[in-house]
Amino acid sequence: MTYHPERPLIVQGDHTLLLETHNPQFAEARDAIAPFAELEKSPEHIHTYRLHPLSLWNAAASGHSLEAAEAALLAFSKYAIPSNVLIEMRRTFSRYGQLVLTKDDEHTLRLTISDAFIAAQVAKEKSVLSKIKQQLNKDTFLIDPAQRGALKHTLIKLGFPVDDQAGFKDSAELNITLRDVTRSTKQQFAVRDYQKKAVDAFVAAGSHGVVVLACGAGKTMVGMATMAKIGMNTLILTPNTAAAHQWHAELLDKTHLEASQLGEYTGARKDIQPVTVATYQMLTYRSEKDGEMLHLDVITQQQWGLIIFDEVHVLPAPVFRAVSEIQARRRLGLTATLIREDGLEKDVFSLIGPKRYDLPWRELEASGHIAEAHCIEIRVPMSEDDHLAHAVAEDRRLAYRIAAENKIKDSVAKSLIEKHDGEGILVIGQYIKQLTRIAKFLGAPVITGRMSSAERERLYSAFRAGDLRLLVVSKVANYAIDLPDASIAIQISGAFGSRQEEAQRLGRILRPKGGPAYFYTLVSEDSEELKFARNRQRFLAEQGYDYLIEDWQV
């Protein structure tokens, strides 16, 4: 067997790649495999990557060749590469580019399939045939432009990624330039090197795709720099009204756009301007359960040159329908993690575009662009009553909730707050009853989805100003909330084993503040909650974070 002990990489038959971090060739090997292999785990000594269809299609879509990928594996692998890995990698790589979508005329798109076997399979699929206007011959199909997104969505489910070269409709040009000095604080700022690389990668690859950066790393700046580069009317879609208002404030603060050029389409206000910030909720709003999306056409039929999807990984299912109808627009997705518990990453690939840029969290931490974070799980005992109720619960969900709402967590949270007195602290949880109880116990305001947007933003503003040092928040604060002074998060309950939620909640405290951040998770000992906590714990460890476990002594 060929063996090169000095090399840092092991390629395994299950399509995982193990990379030794202490090897002198680590950085070179990491940079070589990063374009086509997905980083799954990055603890201290061994980083784990995986070769799977999405990572290989992302590479092909970004212009990376199969030959370069194979050469990288051969150059850094300690052992001979398993033949099944090479065969499957070649097969998957070859899929991208076999189906090409081009513009035939103003009213028709053309799907050309270069592989006769794929063409034959596509031609017999009922789910595909319903989206085809006409089959010209065995490998060429005419498509109604309205079916552009739906067709790509259907084909990727069948394992056939589409190379969409049909182009985009342009909007009116809009001169968007970034300031050198912020309007609010008169402080100098500049687009960071990695942000510029993200923008360049997006534009060079055809202006449709996803940029992945940790919370606090400046995804909003990437969006604004992209707007300046594209120079056209822009629609920005956000998870909630608070996030929409943050975008509005950032655009006023860091670009030369005037307030009259910025519109807002939310529950509070409906005003469309050359740059408009809207929410996913408004895009998908129905007055009746199965009724029409009343605002969809109003928003999407405007002549946008660019659409930005903030927190693209949280797109609710109805938004995919809307996205499938606006494929003729340039699309930028921004996210801290593409992980979805429902496995819909392929939908993001087909409807928004491939991943164009990604930078590991720990690299950003090492360079000082996000805070150094310490993750600590505290095992909390339950009272005898709760322990008994948990033991006799009729199903796992009920048992989980009993453990999650453990009342002893209240005093644990209070002790941690006293330990970090004077710092910006967020107590985060899943259940409104529990949050209301602990907020009363701590004498702190509680933010939930039931609160008006105005009151919510008043509390966020007070926290940013330093007038409030403690907030109790529900899952409404998981996404796109800018609280730069928060350095401590105490998670008292969560959505079962959601890795996505774990990433978002950690992200709330990652803005650099000159000192470390602490992310505490309170978990009931010997309970159903503990089982789900292990999944969340594993995710943080895989990102390279130290994860300490402590037992709480009552």
Neighbouring C-beta atoms of residue 111, cutoff 10 Å: 28
Neighbouring C-beta atoms of residue 314, cutoff 10 Å: 18
C-alpha 457/C-alpha 468 separation (Å) is 13
User: What six digits make up the tokens of 87?
Assistant: 């065969």
φ and ψ at 58, to 5 degrees? -60, -40
C-alpha 285/C-alpha 315 separation (Å) is 14
DSSP state of 207: S
User: What six digits make up the tokens of 456?
Assistant: 């919510």
Q: Quick one: 304 and 392 in the same domain?
A: no
Task: Confirm whether 292 is domain-assigned.
Answer: yes
Q: What is the pLDDT of residue 470?
A: 95
Tell me the pairing of strands 46-50 and 16-20.
antiparallel
Contacts of 344-348 with CB under 8 Å at 24 or more apart are: 344/317, 344/320, 345/54, 346/54, 346/156, 346/157, 347/153, 347/156, 347/315, 347/320, 348/210, 348/312, 348/313, 348/315
C-alpha 123/C-alpha 131 separation (Å) is 11
Question: In sequence order, what are the residues at sequence separation of 6 or more whose Cβ sits closer than 8 angstroms to the Cβ of residue 364?
Answer: 194, 213, 214, 217, 370
Q: What are the beta bridge partners of residue 447?
A: 473
Task: Confirm whether 174 is domain-assigned.
Answer: no
Task: Confirm whether 224 is domain-assigned.
Answer: yes
C-alpha 71/C-alpha 154 separation (Å) is 33
CA dihedral 272, 276, 280, 285 (to 10 degrees): 0
Q: What is the pLDDT of residue 70?
A: 96
Q: What is the pLDDT of residue 321?
A: 65
C-alpha 286/C-alpha 281 separation (Å) is 9
Q: What is the pLDDT of residue 311?
A: 86
Neighbouring C-beta atoms of residue 367, cutoff 10 Å: 14
Q: Quick one: 398 and 428 in the same domain?
A: yes
User: What six digits make up the tokens of 527?
Assistant: 């309970």
SS3 276: strand
CATH number for the domain harbouring residue 152:
3.30.70
CA distances in angstroms from 435 to 188, 243, 418, listed in the order given: 40, 22, 18
User: 31-61 burial, b if ≥16 CB within 10 A, otherwise e?
Assistant: ebbbbbbbbbbbbeeebbbbbebbbbbbbbb
Angle between helices 241-254 and 219-230 (to 10 degrees): 60
Tens-digit pLDDT string for the chain (554 aa): 679 999 999 999 999 999 999 999 998 999 899 889 988 777 778 989 999 898 899 899 888 999 999 999 999 999 999 999 999 999 999 999 999 999 988 789 999 999 999 999 999 999 999 999 999 999 999 999 989 998 998 999 899 999 999 988 888 899 999 999 999 889 998 999 999 999 999 998 889 999 998 888 899 999 999 999 999 999 999 988 888 998 999 999 999 999 999 999 998 889 999 999 999 888 888 888 777 878 888 887 888 999 999 988 777 566 766 777 788 899 999 988 776 655 667 788 888 888 888 887 778 888 888 888 888 999 999 999 988 999 898 888 899 899 999 999 999 999 999 999 999 999 999 899 999 999 999 999 999 888 887 888 899 889 988 899 999 998 877 665 677 678 999 999 887 656 667 777 887 888 877 788 999 999 999 888 887 777 777 767 666 676 788 999 86
Q: Structurally, how many domains does the chain consist of? A: 4
Task: Confirm whether 188 is domain-assigned.
Answer: no
Q: Which conformational region is residue 455 in: left (phi greater than 0), alpha (psi within -120 to 50 degrees), or beta? A: alpha
Question: In sequence order, what are the residues at sequence separation of 6 or more whose Cβ sits closer than 8 angstroms to the Cβ of residue 320?
Answer: 153, 344, 347, 351
Question: Minimal CA–CA distance to 223: which of 306, 345, 305?
Answer: 306
C-alpha 451/C-alpha 448 separation (Å) is 6
Q: Quick one: 466 and 408 in the same domain?
A: yes
Q: Quick one: 444 and 387 in the same domain?
A: yes
C-alpha 303/C-alpha 330 separation (Å) is 11
CA dihedral 283, 287, 289, 295 (to 10 degrees): -20
CATH number for the domain harbouring residue 465:
3.40.50.300
C-alpha 131/C-alpha 151 separation (Å) is 6
Q: What is the pLDDT of residue 79?
A: 95
Residues of the domain holding 267 = 193-365
Q: Quick one: 291 and 375 in the same domain?
A: no
Question: Minimal CA–CA distance to 215: which of 473, 553, 500?
Answer: 500
Q: Quick one: 472 and 520 in the same domain?
A: yes
- Give the residue from 347, 365, 383 where a domain finishes: 365
Give the residue ranges of DSSP H helices in 193-293: 193-204, 219-230, 241-254, 280-283
User: 446-471 burial, b if ≥16 CB within 10 A, otherwise e?
Assistant: bbbeebeeeebbebbeebeeeebbbb
Q: Quick one: 239 and 375 in the same domain?
A: no
CA distances in angstroms from 491 to 38, 95, 204, 357, 439, listed in the order given: 28, 43, 40, 30, 13
Task: Confirm whether 523 is domain-assigned.
Answer: yes
- Give the residue from 95, 111, 138 where a domain finishes: 95
- Give the residue from 309, 339, 365 where a domain finishes: 365
- Angle made by CA atoms 331, 333, 335, in degrees to the nearest 5: 175
Q: Quick one: 249 and 137 in the same domain?
A: no
Q: Quick one: 121 and 245 in the same domain?
A: no
Task: Confirm whether 186 is domain-assigned.
Answer: no
Q: Quick one: 218 and 351 in the same domain?
A: yes
Q: Quick one: 241 and 350 in the same domain?
A: yes
Task: Confirm whether 385 is domain-assigned.
Answer: yes
Task: Confirm whether 302 is domain-assigned.
Answer: yes
Q: What is the pLDDT of residue 359?
A: 83
Q: Quick one: 83 and 119 in the same domain?
A: no
Task: Answer whether 435's CB lies under 8 Å from 475's CB.
Answer: no
